[in-house]
Amino acid sequence: MGRGLQNILFDLDGTLTDPKEGITKSVEYALNKFDIQIEHLDELLPYIGPPLYDSFIELHHFTEEQALQAVAFYRERYSATGLFENMVIEGIPQLLEGLKTNGYSLYVATSKPTVFAAQILEHYKLDHYFKHIGGSNLDGTRSKKQEVIQYVLDENDIHPEEAVMIGDRKHDIIGAIGCSVESIGVTFGYGPKEELEQAGADHIAFRVEEIADIIQHISLRERCTK
């Protein structure tokens, strides 16, 4: 039998940090290589969150070969500059500090390559809050959110009923459901409330401060049902 909620998994982009500038400018750089011009960077906001390879195919109808080349072009700029064109979402350090103080174990589960996620978290001095940073591999494997969540669970011997996944896009919610993990969708990132609800989010947080309240509610509910 599980011990109740012990482990909090966080998405990175749009949940812990706002990566808008770095991601959109790096996608624009990649598209320009294919002679595709972008009028406004906001057109590229759908690229924030999902695996890049999938987004180039879905959003710009690239072939598999073109999508692989686009990801390579993207990383040319992103690894040098875009990585740190980023900012921590207001209230996140306080949230992480509070959860850790209250005895929860914190993890990152992101479709971003682990190497980039680790650099970002270290740069913004958030890395020490997390027991494990789980992401995709540079060769494109383990990029689906369900695969990343399952990897974090497996690597840390976490039972699904002892965890909750927090993210801002439908992929986070769908991935959590696929791993039998409860989910919190956040609307301060890049997915609207409707997207998160339709994906099946168990809870919705409109502000960072609401996350701790939801986690407390889950913990109290579990104690009451035992």
Active site residues: 11
C-alpha dist (Å) from residue 189 to 55, 154, 192: 18, 27, 8
Beta-sheet pairing, 203-205 with 132-136: unpaired
Size of the chain, expressed as the number of residues it contains: 226
H/E stretch holding 136 reads strand 132-136
CA dihedral 217, 222, 223, 224 (to 10 degrees): 90
CA angle 192, 64, 32 (to 5 degrees): 70
- Two tokens, residue 224: 């009451």
E strand map for 24-115: 87-88, 105-113
